[in-house]
Structure 1
Amino acid sequence: MIIDSIRDYIKQCPSLEKFNGAVRVNVNYLDDNSTTYSLEEVPSNPLIKTYLDGSSINKFDFVFCSREPYGSDVLQNIDNSGFYEEFSDWIYENNLKRNFPNLGENLEVLEIKTTSTGYAIQVDEDTGRYQISLSIKYFKKRK
């Protein structure tokens, strides 16, 4: 499954341990406690291009999100933003190095990129939900 491969890949980001220690990345579930992480699939048309032999270029859009401490402490909020900046840099560097997730048989990643900056999407008194949008473009070989 693509999302499971992405999860394994994201767990390798050194910033996760730097900011949180033990790393747990959920799928389509973000705990109410801080600090937790999740990958969430985004509805989109996956097909970019189809070839005569049935092979295709596709994309997989998703968000990486977290619940972080949030409030009037400016330094904490800067740390939260800093985490997403480091995460985005890690994705960018991996793309340049062609260090991609292994999506499995007949699927070859062509590109991974962030499609937004990290931002607070929902905040309450003590925590905030932050997220960053990403996209993976891949070649799907006809079986």
Structure 2
Amino acid sequence: MRIEELRSYLFEVLNSLTQNVNQINANMLSNKIDNYSLDKIPTDTEVEQWITGDAVRRDVYSFRSRKAYSQDTINNLRNIGFFEEFENKIKSNNKEGILPNIDGIESIECLNCGTMYSADGVTAEFDIQIQITYREGENASL
């Protein structure tokens, strides 16, 4: 399944950026700091469709994270910096052809920067949207 392969890929990305990867859940972000959730966003998957039956499709995911949050400016800057590094790593990997192990995959990209979604004074939830583009059909691997 694509989401499983994307999750494995994101583990590798996170491990290259931080030593604090506790877990990447699916559709569930726990209350623990440095936990992550990969949630599929319902979108139109069709990018292009050919009469041969081959198609270019996309999946969009919300990659959410819970981080420590307070009035400490340095900590909050680190949180923002983490998502800048994350986005740069995804861009760099895409450029170098380091992609999730998904049949027909063409690209992976971040659609937005990591944005704080909510906060409770102790932790904050951040969200960044990720899109994968892939081919389906008989000529998908060409």
Work out whether the TM-score is over 0.5: yes
In 2, are the aligned partners of 1:11 and 1:23 still within 8 Å (CA)?
A: no
- Displacement after TM superposition at 1:113 (Å): 0.7
Structure 1 CA distance, aligned partners of 2:99 and 2:123? 32
Residue in structure 2 matched with residue 89 of structure 1 by the alignment: 88
Helix, strand or coil at the partner of 1:38: strand
| Alignment partners' CA distance in 2, 1:66 and 1:88 | 14
**SS of 2:79 mapped into structure 1:** helix
Residues 1:74 and 2:99 are matched in the alignment: no
Deviating 4+ runs (over 4 angstroms): none
SS at match of 1:67: strand
1:108 Cα offset (Å): 1.0
Q: How many residues align?
A: 137
Displacement of 1:40 in angstroms is 0.9
Instruction: Supply the RMSD in Å over aligned alpha carbons.
Output: 1.3
- State whether residues 69 and 123 of structure 2, in contact with CA within 8 Å, keep that contact through their aligned partners in structure 1: yes
Contact in 2 for aligned 1:102/1:108 (Cα 8 Å)? no
Amino acid at match of 1:139: R
| Pair 1:75–1:15, CA change in 2 (3 A) | same
Structure 1 vs Structure 2: percent identity of aligned residues?
27
Distance 2:23 2:18 in 1: 9
Structure 2 unmatched ranges of 5 or more: none
What secondary structure, in the 3-state scheme, does the structure 2 residue paired with 1:133 have? strand
CA contact (8 A) 2:112 2:128 kept: yes
Within 5 Å, which residues of 2 pair with 1:52-131? 52-103=51-102, 107-131=103-127
